[in-house]
Amino acid sequence: MQTGASLNRFAGLDHLRALAIILVFIYHYGIFGHPDGLSLIGRFGWTGVDLFFVLSGFLIGGQLFAKMARQENISYGEFYFKRFLRIVPAYLFVLALYLLFPGFKERSELPPTWKFLTFTQNFGLDIIHQGAFSHAWSLCIEEQFYLVLPLFIIGFVSMKASRKAVWLIPIVFVFGLAVRLASWYLLVQPSASFGLAYYRYIYYPTYTRLDGLLAGVALAALYHFRPNSWQKATRYGNPLLLTSLLLLIGLWWADHDDYQYKFSGAVFGFPLISVVYGLAVLGALSPSSLLYRYSSRAMRLIATLSYSIYLTHKQLIHLTHTLLEKYGISKDSYIAFWIAVIASFLGGWLLHLLIEKPFLRLRDRFLARRKTALLTSKT
């Protein structure tokens, strides 16, 4: 355990990223059978994806805003190149496992392959009949968002209206509320299959799930363009973390009554959760907070492996249960749970080591050579 102001300012975010994948893992574990005690946490674990959205919005949006704040030219080709090598190689490797090994599927069937290749799987997703690799829906939303975000920035910069771009965030936020409201009354409530309609028209579509990403982008804009306001906002790190924790407990308690599937939860729940996790991010980035000051190697490792674990954990849970049942170990036991935890961690570690990390090194080497070439050409 390390302490002190010398830590990277993102050390606090490692704790939150690790928390996000833990929540998602426990939530998805419940799909395949689980010990009764996990239900207390598991049923609210779906919000881990929203925490990922807030973190991603802050980090990726911040890459663009940092250069804008320094009045540097943004290389959009470099931006997309970095996103491609960060996301696509591991994603395509896992997709190939699905296509080559039918037993790798954790449930039902895959959607059409072209939807995975175009990152559009989240639109019209039939979770009942095409539920395999369904957790890639959130990755689709992120990739669609970051495909469009630079285009908006280009538009505002070309019109010399970049100062007005901040108004785009509340506009899109209100748009999401309006779409969820219309979807609830026109598509979900009248449907004979409420659950399927809820996921298809409210939970999975990009235009209804932008709240977390917008919250993260708003925080990035505050950090880079309003540093004085940022310092004031992060002055009380631990109170921010405590407030977010208490609000999360309140939302967790409300979710016990299926709040997520009620009108108030379906329409207003997602922005509420995003605001709460936004407060947590603010707290984690405050130099006075516990999450900022204390760096755990275990949490840092889980955070590093979070993407690879996210891609593979459902499949490995399914395969682990299938194997253990042959030896009479119930999937509802804690023994099966902890074996599945270990299997998912090792699977994520292997994917990171063999696929994700080599491509990240390739990316860094290419960008370093490009930077050197540019500097040489100017001398």
Per-block mean pLDDT, blocks of 10 residues, the chain (379 long): 44 95 94 83 89 95 86 85 95 97 89 96 91 95 91 70 68 91 94 91 95 94 91 93 94 77 90 96 94 92 97 96 94 94 97 97 91 74
What pLDDT was estimated at residue 3?
A: 36
What pLDDT was estimated at residue 8?
A: 46
- Residues 90, 355: Cα–Cα separation, whole Å: 6
pTM of the model: 0.93
Shortest CA distance to 64 belongs to which of 145, 170, 184? 145
Q: Is 293:287 a contact under the CB 8 Å cutoff?
A: yes
The dihedral through the CA atoms of 191, 196, 200, 201 has a sign that is: positive
What pLDDT was estimated at residue 6?
A: 35
- Give per-residue burial for 188-209: e unless 16+ CB within 10 Å, then b: beeeeeeebbbbbbbbbbbebb
Cβ neighbors of 273 (< 8 A, separation 6 or more) are: 47, 50, 211, 212, 251
Report CA 185 to chain centroid distance, whole Å.
28
The alpha-helical segments, DSSP class H, found in 184-296 are 194-198, 211-225, 227-233, 237-255, 263-264, 270-284, 290-293
Both structure tokens of 112: 């059409």
What pLDDT was estimated at residue 44?
A: 87
What pLDDT was estimated at residue 118?
A: 96
What pLDDT was estimated at residue 9?
A: 54
Q: Is 133:94 a contact under the CB 8 Å cutoff?
A: yes
2 three-state secondary structure:
strand
